Amino acid sequence: MAMLAGAYLWIVAAHVIFVIFWMAGLFMLPRYLVYHQEALAAGRADEAALWVERETKLRSIILTPAMIAVWVLGLLLATVGQHWGAGWLHAKLVFVLLLSGYHGWAVGYAKRLAKGVMRLDGRTLRMLNEVPALVATAIVVLVFVKPF
């Protein structure tokens, strides 16, 4: 890992870039789910099929690859930067686990919608769309302020 110490800032940059991609996907997918569900509820099957295609592309091209890169680069940063003993990192990891769980939930809900199963109303989906912003805010504060 000492070899990577000189590349630390490059690893940070790559991590931040993939965080941006992941967050963009986490903001987009729930909004897609709202539109998809509205098309299903209105009986617009052709439109709903287009949303399935869009959601699949978003997941496979941006969302899941970005999440994997965030995890790999983040764990590498924690190791190279010797941050494992820092309390802020442990708290950050809890929030990143929450975002990962949210990611999994959104992907699962998209797959259920693709089968025509609607379990939430539009208002609930719209409220759930705010979860990534709240969690990302906490993560940014932990990383830059390092309150503990």
At 97-130, the pLDDT tens digits run 999 999 999 999 999 999 999 999 999 999 999 9
Q: Is 15 annotated as a binding residue?
A: yes
- Answer left, alpha or beta for residue 115, where phi above 0 means left and psi between -120 and 50 means alpha: alpha
For helices 87-114 and 45-57, the axis angle rounded to 10 degrees is 150
Segment 72-98, tens digit of pLDDT: 999 999 999 999 999 999 999 999 999
Q: What is the pTM of this model?
A: 0.93
Segment 15-35, tens digit of pLDDT: 999 999 999 999 999 999 999
**Tokens of residue 25, six digits:** 């996907």
Q: Count the domains in the chain.
A: 1
Q: Is 92 annotated as a binding residue?
A: yes
**Tokens of residue 14, six digits:** 């790559």
User: Which pLDDT band holds residue 2 (cuts at 50, 70, 90)?
Assistant: confident
Residue 60 structural domain: 2-145
- Burial grade of 137 (CB within 10 A; 0-12, 13-18, 19 or more): exposed
What is the separation of C-alpha 47 from the centre of its chain, rounded to a whole number of angstroms? Answer: 25
